[in-house]
Amino acid sequence: MGKAKYRYNPDTCRYEPFYLKGRALRERAMVFVMIATVVATGGYFYIRNYFETIDEFLLEQENQIRKAEWTDLRHRVYVADQKLSEYIQKDDYNYRVILDSHPLGASIREAGVGGSEKIDSKLLLEFPVIYHEAKRVEKLVHQAEIEIQSFDEIDRILDKKTAMWSAKPAIQPLSNQQLTYLHTTYGSRFHQILGYVREHKGLDLTADVGTPVYAAGDGRVEKAYYSQSYGNVIYLDHVYGYETRYAHLSKFNVKQGQRVKRGDLIGFVGNTGLSKGPHLHYEVLFQGQHVNPINFFQRDLSNTEYQRLIEEASQSHESLD
């Protein structure tokens, strides 16, 4: 039985209770259920549209983090790309030019780029931005690997060049301060002791007896002995085809087989052998052939001094031995 309601009865002139029953009660109940359903459904969609669930909130937070990471990653790739380009420029147009080596060229640097199947091509359809970025990173890694190999090669070339530069006879064997006169006597000269013209294949550097004589480059003492013509003489083998000889010494400061560095004191100026006065007779050989030592004095002469030497070299002088 439903809740009691009251209705006016004109016969009794009183309000009397009556109860919904049967069909009327069912209709009323149905209306109530329908209204409740409409209100509940409306409320559900309203809440769904205007309020996030906790999962959606967390997902949104994660998306924001991923977006920031993606932006940062792209920037890092851009910076790495710029840096690598700078290194490639230096490699091709600075280091290799200085070392007399050819640039690697685009064909070597680009070889193998783009042919990789590591990146799933389905990514291109689903996320093209990520696909292109992944390809860019793949190319960057490949170029970096090539550059690392290139720098290893430059390192090996540099080691070899450094050894060659150190071995090359590049300094004057006497200090300029102790040099009293440089006889630029390379070529056919009149020999004052023998009394006839013969090939003079070195330079005569006049200095007092006992003046220090220095190794012109890194090398090994091939000979250090007394010769009838050279007197006390040192032969230095500099490898890479170079050899130097230091004659008429008063004393040795090295022994046969000893290794020397450029600038090491190897002996002292003297007047031994076929010599007219105290001086150093200095010879340079390249691949077994005598060459004019004057061409190897660049390191310790100014441009003016060097020019003066070249001019003097064209004039005739008597040799001292």
Segment interacting with Zn ion (CB under 5 A) among 26-34, 200-208, 264-272, 299-307: 200-208
Provide the minimum distance between the beta carbon of 93 and Zn ion in the complex, in angstroms, as a whole number. 45
What is the x/- site pattern for Zn ion, positions 275-294, by CB under 5 A? ------x-------------
**Taking each helix axis from N to C terminus, what angle separates 54-90 and 128-167, rounded to the nearest 10 degrees?**
30
Which residue has its beta carbon closest to Zn ion?
A: 281
Provide the minimum distance between the beta carbon of 213 and Zn ion in the complex, in angstroms, as a whole number. 14
* Alpha carbon separation from 264 to 220, 244, 275 (Å, rounded): 12, 14, 25
Distance, in Å, from the CA atom of 137 to the CA atom of 78, rounded to the nearest integer, reads: 10
Is residue 218 involved in binding Zn ion (CB under 5 A)? no
Buried b (16+ CB within 10 A) or exposed e, 230-250: bbbbbbbbbebebbbbbbbbb
Distance, in Å, from the CA atom of 232 to the CA atom of 210, rounded to the nearest integer, reads: 13
Provide the minimum distance between the beta carbon of 256 and Zn ion in the complex, in angstroms, as a whole number. 22
> Site residues for Zn ion, window 302-321 (CB under 5 A)?
319, 321
Segment interacting with Zn ion (CB under 5 A) among 76-84, 105-113, 265-273, 274-282: 274-282
Segment interacting with Zn ion (CB under 5 A) among 65-73, 79-87, 128-136, 195-203: 195-203
Provide the minimum distance between the beta carbon of 97 and Zn ion in the complex, in angstroms, as a whole number. 40
Nearer to Zn ion, 204 or 243 (CB): 204
Q: Are 255 and 300 in contact (CB under 8 A)?
A: no
Residue 286's Cβ-side half-sphere holds a number of Cα atoms within 13 Å equal to 9
Question: Which residue is associated with the tokens 């559900």?
Answer: 44
Provide the minimum distance between the beta carbon of 281 and Zn ion in the complex, in angstroms, as a whole number. 3
Instruction: Enumerate residues 6+ apart whose C-beta is below 8 A from 285.
Output: 242, 243, 244, 245, 291
Alpha helices in the chain (DSSP H): 22-50, 54-90, 96-98, 106-110, 122-126, 128-167, 303-313
Distance, in Å, from the CA atom of 252 to the CA atom of 306, rounded to the nearest integer, reads: 29
Provide the minimum distance between the beta carbon of 148 and Zn ion in the complex, in angstroms, as a whole number. 52
Segment interacting with Zn ion (CB under 5 A) among 90-98, 148-156, 163-171, 197-205: 197-205
Distance, in Å, from the CA atom of 140 to the CA atom of 135, rounded to the nearest integer, reads: 9
With CB under 5 A as the rule, give the number of residues binding Zn ion: 5
Distance, in Å, from the CA atom of 232 to the CA atom of 225, rounded to the nearest integer, reads: 6
Sign for the pseudo-dihedral over CA of 188, 192, 196, 198: negative
Nearer to Zn ion, 218 or 321 (CB): 321
Provide the minimum distance between the beta carbon of 309 and Zn ion in the complex, in angstroms, as a whole number. 16
Is residue 204 involved in binding Zn ion (CB under 5 A)? yes
Nearer to Zn ion, 95 or 246 (CB): 246
Nearer to Zn ion, 250 or 319 (CB): 319
Is residue 92 involved in binding Zn ion (CB under 5 A)? no
Nearer to Zn ion, 2 or 277 (CB): 277
Nearer to Zn ion, 217 or 293 (CB): 293
Q: Provide the binding-site residues for Zn ion, judged by CB under 5 A.
A: 202, 204, 281, 319, 321
